[in-house]
C-alpha cells in the first residue's frame, strides 16, 4: 500500500515540475491557449480601376496586380493621377473622357505628365522635398529630350528608365534606376545594335563598362561609390561629355590627378593634339585598373604610343618606371622579412607603420606620374624606400630575436637533458619496489 | 644547538621527515596513472608563478588589456616567454586534469575511504575549467571576446537562474569592460583562493589515505615515496618543462586582434578546445525537444553529467569489481569517445 502510494505520487510530482518548467521559465507555450485567429485585414478603399483590371486577367490585369509596390500608390495616389478618369465610378463610366480619362499617355506627353507634379515645388514639398523639381526641364535639354521634341518617340522618356507599374523609389534595389541597375537599364537601348543603328551610336559601351574597374566595383562588388553611366553622363540632362569637359567629369572623384595633369606639360600638348585628357591614356567606358606597366617607353606602356624610347619624354618615362619598380621591390623585401618574423611569433607592430607609410608613398609616386615631374616622383620614391628599409630593419631585428630565443631553447634543453640523464641514472640506482607495502 | 635541532624544537620537522621516509606508493600495472596528478600539480605551480609575473604588467580594462598583453609580448624582458608558458601550461593543465580524472576513474581510486579525495578532485577539475574560461577573455582580443560572448550565452540557458547567472557573470547584459574586470577578479583572486583550499584538502587526503591500489584484495608491490617515486616524478616534471619550453619558444601564444564589440563575430568562432565538445553538442540538439528549448536541455544534461561525476564514489560502492563497476567503466569509455568525437566533428566543420 505504501509502495503503491509512492507510485502515484512520484509521477504526479514529476508531471507537476515538468508543467511548471514548461509554463514558466522555459517559456515554450505548448500548454497555453492557442492564439486567436488573426483578424482579417480590412479591404482597401474601393478603386474601380484596380478592381476591374484585376478581374480582367492577362495583360490588362498586370498593372493592377503590380501597382501595390508603386511609390506613388504608397503615397496615396491612384491610377487616375496619371490616367485620369474616376476610380469611384462603376463600370465603363470610370473611363469616360468626360471624367478626365486619358488612357495610356503618349511617350511625347510623358515629361509633361510626370512634370505636373515633379516640376512643382509645392507638390513635391509635400511628398519628398529632397527630389529636385527641374528634372523635366533638364530632360528637355538632353539628347533624349531634344529628339523627343523633334518627334522621335524611340528615345528614352521617364518610364523608359524608371519603369512603370510599378514605379519604384530610386533607393529601392529593384528599381531600374537603383545605382547597381543603371548600367543594365541604359544598355537595354544602348547595347542593342539594331536599335542604335539609325543613330550611329556605338553599342559596345556596356560590355566595356562591365569589364572596367568601375563596372567591377559596382556590379560585382556592390560598391555604390563606383560610378554608373549617369554619374559621368548625367541622368535627366544626359549628354556625352565633350573633349574639354572629360577631365572635369573624372575629377568629381579623381580631383588630385586632374590637378596634377593640369600643371603638367601634357595639358597643352593634349589640347594641341585634340586628345581627351584622361581617356587618352585610361580609355573611357573600359577603364582598366591602372598598372605600372602603363608607365615607360617600351612594351605595353601607354607613353610609348607617343614617345620613342630615345626621346626626352621616353627617357623620363623609363626612369619613372624604374623608380616605381625599385620602390615596389624594396617594399616587397620588407614585407617578406616582416611577415617571416611575424609568423614566427614576433610582434611586428613597430614595422607596420613605416611599411604602411612606404605603401602610401608608392601610391603618391604613382599619382605624381600625372604631373610628369621626374623630380617629384623620385622624391616620393626616395621617402618610400627609406620607410621600407626602416620596416625591414625591424623585421631583421625580429628574426635576430627568434634566433636568440632558439639558441636559448637549445641551451635550456641541453641542461634539461643532462638533468634528465642524471635523474634516470639515479632512478636506476635506487631500488624500485619493496614487497608487502 | 644545530640548525636541525633548532628547527625541530620549533616546527617538529622530523615528524614530517619520518612520515615521508615511511610513506610508500603502489607499484601496480598501471603505475603511470599515479604521475598524472603530480604533472597537474606541477603545471598549477607554473601557472601560479607565471601568473604572478604577468600581474605586474597586465591591466584589466577594455582600453588597456590588449595593449598591456602586447606590451608584455613585445617589450617586457622575457615577457613573451612568461605569457607563452602561462598560456601553454594552462592548456596542458586542463589536459592533464582530465587525464588524471579518467585515470583515477578507471583504476577505481574513488573507492572507500577516498570518496572525498575524488569529490575534491572533481571540484578542482571544475575550477580548472573556470580558470580557463575566465583567463581566455583577459587578453581582450577578438576571439576571446566572441568566445566569451557565446560561452556566457550558454550559461544564460541554465533553467530558472540562467538569466541572473548571465548578468552576474557579465556584470550586465553584454560582454563589456565590467565583464573583463569581473573575470580578472575571479581569475586572480576568487579561483586561486578556492583552489588553494581544495588543493590543500585534496593533497591532505591523498597523504592521509595514501594512493589507491587498483586491486583492493592484496597489498601488492610498493615503491618508497622518497626517493624512488619522487625521483620518477621529478623526471616527468623535467620532461614536462622541456615540452613547455619548446612550445613557448617555437609556438609563442598569439596576441590576435583587439576586440571590437561593434564588429560582427568572425566566422567559425568556437571556445577553447576543452569546451568544444559541449559547444558542438549544443549545436546538434534541435531547437525544441519535448516542449523545451534544445539548448536548455543540453545545458541541463551537462549539469547532470557534472553531478554524476562528483557522485561517482557514492553510486559505485563495490569493494570488488562487479556489475556497477562494469557499467561505470563502460559509461566512462562512452564519455571519452563522446568528448573525442564531438571535438573532432566541430574542428572538421566550417
Global ipTM: 0.88
Cell of B14: 622530523
pLDDT number for residue A43:
37
- For residue B71, the distance in angstroms to the closest alpha carbon of chain A comes to 9
Rg (CA), chain A: 38
> What is the separation, in whole angstroms, between the first and last Cα of chain B?
72
Among B24-33, B103-112, B283-292, B331-340, the range with the most confident prediction by mean pLDDT is B331-340
Instruction: Choose the closest CB to A25 out of B80, B159, B234.
Output: B159
Contacts of B231 in chain A (CB under 8 A): 423, 426-427, 430
With CB atoms and an 8 Å threshold, state whether B223 touches A434: yes
What is the rounded CA–CA span in Å between residue A9 and residue A7?
6
DSSP string, B253-298: PP--PBP-TTSPPPTT----GGGHHHHHHHHHS-SEETTEEHHHHH
Asked whether the predicted pLDDT for residue A39 surpasses 60, the reply is no
C-alpha distance from A390 to closest chain B C-alpha (Å): 18
Q: Is B224 on the interface with A (CB under 8 A)?
A: yes
Summarize pLDDT for A270-292 with one digit per residue, the tens.
888 888 888 888 988 999 899 99
A212 SS3 class: coil
Is B74 in Cβ contact with A347 (below 8 Å)? yes
Match 572635369 to its residue by C-alpha cell.
A248
Residue A114 has pLDDT above 80, yes or no: yes
Q: Across the A/B interface, how many CB contacts are shorter than 8 Å?
A: 96
Test B222 with A405 for CB contact under 8 angstroms.
Answer: no
Tell me what pLDDT residue B273 has.
94
* Of B97, B129, B140, residue with least CA distance to B272: B129
Contacts with B285 (C-beta within 8 Å, 6 or more apart), sequence order: B294, B295, B297, B298
In angstroms, the CA A235 to CA A80 distance is 28
Residue A21: pLDDT band by 50, 70, 90 thresholds?
A: very low
| Per-residue pLDDT at A35 exceeds 80 | no
For B236, the closest chain A residue by CA position comes to A420
With cut-offs at 50, 70 and 90, classify the pLDDT of residue B248.
very high
On average, the pLDDT of chain B sits at: 92
Contacts of A432 in chain B (CB under 8 A): 27, 223, 228
Closest CA to A347 of B76, B176, B97, B145: B76
Average pLDDT over residues A215-234: 91
Average pLDDT over residues B183-199: 97
The C-alpha of A402 sits at a distance from chain B's nearest C-alpha, in angstroms, of 8
Residue A82 has pLDDT above 70, yes or no: yes
CB-CB: which of B228, B231, B293 is closest to A28? B293
More confident of the two residues A21 and A64: A64
CA distance A20 to chain B (A): 11
For the segment A138-156, the average pLDDT, to the nearest whole number, is 90
Q: What is the pLDDT of residue A31?
A: 34
Sort out which chain B residues have CB atoms less than 8 A from A431's CB and list them. Answer: 224, 228
Provide the pLDDT for residue A244. 58
Whether A30 and B80 lie within 8 Å, measured CB to CB: no
CB-based contact, B246 to chain A, within 8 Å = yes
B113 touches chain A (CB under 8 A): no
What's the rounded mean pLDDT across residues A117-136?
Answer: 89
Q: Which of A130-144, A211-225, B117-131 has the lowest mean pLDDT?
A: A130-144
pLDDT number for residue B219: 57
Tens digits of residue pLDDT in A209-224: 999 999 999 999 999 8
Q: What was the pLDDT predicted at A389?
A: 97
Distance separating alpha carbons of residues B316 and B301, to the nearest angstrom: 20
Match 596634377 to its residue by C-alpha cell: A260
As a dihedral over the C-alpha atoms of residue A146, residue A151, residue A154, residue A158, rounded to 10 degrees, the angle is 60
Looking at A135-149, B39-53, B169-183, which range is the least confident one?
A135-149
Instruction: Give the pLDDT confidence of A305-334 residue by residue, as tens digits.
Output: 889 999 999 999 999 999 999 999 999 999
Q: Are B44 and B132 in contact (CB under 8 A)?
A: no
Enter the C-alpha cell of residue B193. 583562493
B309-325 mean pLDDT:
89
Q: Is B245 on the interface with A (CB under 8 A)?
A: yes
Strands B288-289 and B221-224: unpaired
B261: which residues sit within 8 A by CB, 6+ positions away?
B145, B174, B175, B176
Instruction: Work out the average pLDDT over A350-374.
Output: 95
Rounded mean pLDDT of B315-330?
Answer: 88
pLDDT in tens, A84-104: 888 888 878 888 888 888 888
Contact between chains at A437 and B24 (C-beta distance less than 8 A): yes
pLDDT bucket at A11, cuts 50 / 70 / 90: low
For residue B219, the chain A residues in CB contact (below 8 A) are 436-437
Judge whether residue A34 has pLDDT over 50: no
Give B42-67 pLDDT, tens digit per residue. 999 999 999 999 999 999 999 999 99
Contacts made by residues A399-403, CB under 8 angstroms, sequence distance 24+: A399/A337, A399/A340, A399/A341, A399/A344, A399/A346, A401/A341, A401/A346, A402/A341, A402/A344, A402/A345, A402/A346
Which of B27, B224, B293 faces A26 most closely, judged by CB atoms? B293
B255·A21 Cβ contact <8 A: no
**pLDDT at residue B85, as a whole number:** 97
Rg (CA), chain B: 22
Measure Cα distances from A208 to A153, A191, A221, A251 in Å: 28, 11, 17, 21
Q: What is the pLDDT of residue A54?
A: 84
Which of B228, B249, B287 to substitute to test the interface with A, most A CBs within 10 Å? B249
Amino acid at each position: 500500500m505504501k509502495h503503491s502510494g509512492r507510485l502515484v505520487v512520484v509521477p504526479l510530482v514529476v508531471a507537476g515540475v515538468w508543467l511548471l518548467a514548461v509554463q514558466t521559465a522555459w517559456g515554450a507555450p505548448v500548454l497555453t491557449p492557442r492564439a486567436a485567429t488573426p483578424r482579417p485585414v480590412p479591404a482597401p478603399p474601393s478603386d474601380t480601376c484596380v478592381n476591374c483590371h484585376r478581374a480582367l486577367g492577362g495583360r490588362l490585369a498586370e498593372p493592377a496586380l503590380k501597382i501595390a509596390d508603386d511609390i506613388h500608390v504608397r503615397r496615396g495616389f491612384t491610377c487616375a493621377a496619371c490616367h485620369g478618369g474616376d476610380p469611384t465610378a462603376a463600370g465603363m463610366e470610370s473611363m469616360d473622357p468626360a471624367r478626365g480619362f486619358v488612357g495610356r499617355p503618349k511617350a511625347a506627353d510623358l515629361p509633361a505628365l510626370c512634370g505636373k507634379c515633379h516640376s512643382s515645388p509645392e507638390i513635391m514639398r509635400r511628398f519628398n522635398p529632397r527630389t529636385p523639381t527641374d528634372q523635366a526641364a533638364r530632360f528637355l535639354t538632353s539628347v533624349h529630350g531634344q529628339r523627343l521634341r523633334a518627334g522621335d518617340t524611340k528615345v528614352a522618356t521617364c518610364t523608359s528608365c524608371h519603369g512603370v507599374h510599378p514605379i519604384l523609389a530610386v533607393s529601392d534595389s529593384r528599381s531600374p534606376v537603383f545605382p547597381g541597375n543603371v548600367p543594365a537599364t541604359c544598355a537595354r537601348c544602348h547595347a542593342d545594335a539594331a536599335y542604335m543603328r539609325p543613330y550611329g551610336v556605338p553599342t559596345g559601351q556596356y560590355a566595356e563598362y562591365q569589364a572596367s574597374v568601375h563596372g567591377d566595383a559596382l556590379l560585382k562588388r556592390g560598391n555604390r561609390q563606383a560610378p554608373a553611366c549617369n554619374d559621368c553622363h548625367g541622368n535627366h540632362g544626359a549628354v556625352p561629355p565633350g573633349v574639354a569637359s572629360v577631365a572635369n567629369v573624372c575629377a568629381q572623384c579623381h580631383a588630385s590627378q586632374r590637378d596634377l595633369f593640369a600643371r603638367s606639360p601634357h595639358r597643352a600638348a593634349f589640347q594641341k593634339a585634340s586628345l581627351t585628357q584622361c581617356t587618352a591614356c585610361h580609355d573611357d567606358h573600359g577603364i582598366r585598373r591602372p598598372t605600372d606597366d602603363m608607365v615607360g617607353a617600351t612594351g605595353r606602356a601607354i607613353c610609348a604610343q607617343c614617345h620613342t624610347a630615345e626621346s626626352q619624354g621616353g627617357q623620363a618615362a623609363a626612369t619613372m618606371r624604374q623608380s616605381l619598380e625599385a620602390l615596389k621591390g624594396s617594399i616587397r623585401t620588407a614585407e617578406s622579412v616582416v611577415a617571416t618574423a611575424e609568423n614566427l611569433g614576433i610582434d611586428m607592430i613597430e614595422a607596420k607603420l613605416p611599411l604602411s607609410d612606404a605603401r602610401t608613398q608608392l601610391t603618391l609616386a604613382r599619382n605624381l606620374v600625372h604631373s610628369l615631374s621626374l623630380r617629384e616622383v623620385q622624391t616620393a620614391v626616395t621617402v618610400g624606400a627609406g620607410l621600407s628599409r626602416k620596416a625591414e630593419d625591424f623585421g631583421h631585428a625580429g628574426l635576430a630575436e627568434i634566433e636568440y630565443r632558439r639558441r636559448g631553447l637549445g641551451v635550456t634543453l641541453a641542461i634539461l637533458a643532462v638533468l634528465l640523464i642524471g635523474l634516470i641514472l639515479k632512478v636506476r640506482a635506487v631500488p624500485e619496489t619493496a614487497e608487502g607495502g | 644547538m644545530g640548525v636541525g635541532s633548532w628547527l625541530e624544537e620549533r616546527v617538529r620537522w622530523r615528524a614530517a621527515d619520518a612520515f615521508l621516509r615511511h610513506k610508500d606508493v603502489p607499484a601496480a600495472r598501471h603505475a603511470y596513472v599515479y604521475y598524472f596528478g603530480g604533472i597537474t600539480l606541477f603545471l598549477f605551480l607554473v601557472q601560479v608563478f607565471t601568473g604572478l609575473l604577468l600581474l605586474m604588467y597586465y591591466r584589466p580594462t577594455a582600453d588597456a588589456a590588449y595593449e598591456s598583453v602586447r606590451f608584455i609580448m613585445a617589450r617586457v624582458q622575457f615577457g613573451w616567454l612568461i605569457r607563452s608558458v602561462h598560456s601553454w601550461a594552462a592548456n596542458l593543465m586542463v589536459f592533464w586534469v582530465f587525464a588524471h580524472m579518467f585515470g583515477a576513474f578507471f583504476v577505481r581510486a574513488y573507492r572507500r575511504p577516498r570518496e572525498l579525495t575524488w569529490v575534491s578532485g572533481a571540484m578542482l577539475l571544475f575550477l580548472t575549467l573556470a580558470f580557463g574560461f575566465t583567463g581566455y577573455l583577459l587578453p581582450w582580443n577578438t576571439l576571446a571576446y566572441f568566445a566569451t560572448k557565446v560561452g556566457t550565452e550558454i550559461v544564460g540557458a541554465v533553467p530558472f537562474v540562467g538569466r541572473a547567472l548571465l548578468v552576474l557573470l557579465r556584470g550586465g547584459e553584454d560582454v563589456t569592460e565590467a565583464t573583463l574586470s569581473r573575470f580578472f577578479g575571479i581569475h586572480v583572486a576568487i579561483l586561486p583562493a578556492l583552489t588553494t583550499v581544495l588543493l590543500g584538502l585534496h593533497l591532505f587526503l591523498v597523504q592521509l589515505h595514501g594512493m589507491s591500489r587498483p586491486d583492493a584484495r592484496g597489498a601488492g608491490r610498493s615503491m618508497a615515496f622518497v626517493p624512488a617515486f619522487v625521483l620518477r616524478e621529478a623526471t616527468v616534471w623535467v620532461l614536462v618543462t622541456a615540452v613547455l619550453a619548446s612550445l613557448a619558444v617555437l609556438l609563442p601564444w598569439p596576441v590576435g586582434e583587439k576586440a571590437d564589440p561593434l564588429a560582427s563575430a568572425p566566422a567559425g568562432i568556437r571556445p577553447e578546445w576543452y569546451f568544444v565538445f559541449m559547444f558542438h553538442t549544443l549545436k546538434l540538439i534541435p531547437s525544441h525537444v519535448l516542449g523545451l528549448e534544445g539548448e536548455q536541455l543540453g545545458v541541463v544534461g551537462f549539469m547532470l553529467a557534472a553531478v554524476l561525476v562528483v557522485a561517482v564514489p557514492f553510486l559505485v560502492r563495490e569493494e570488488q569489481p562487479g556489475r556497477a563497476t562494469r557499467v561505470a567503466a563502460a559509461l566512462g569509455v562512452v564519455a571519452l569517445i563522446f568528448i573525442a568525437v564531438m571535438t573532432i566533428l566541430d574542428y572538421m566543420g566550417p
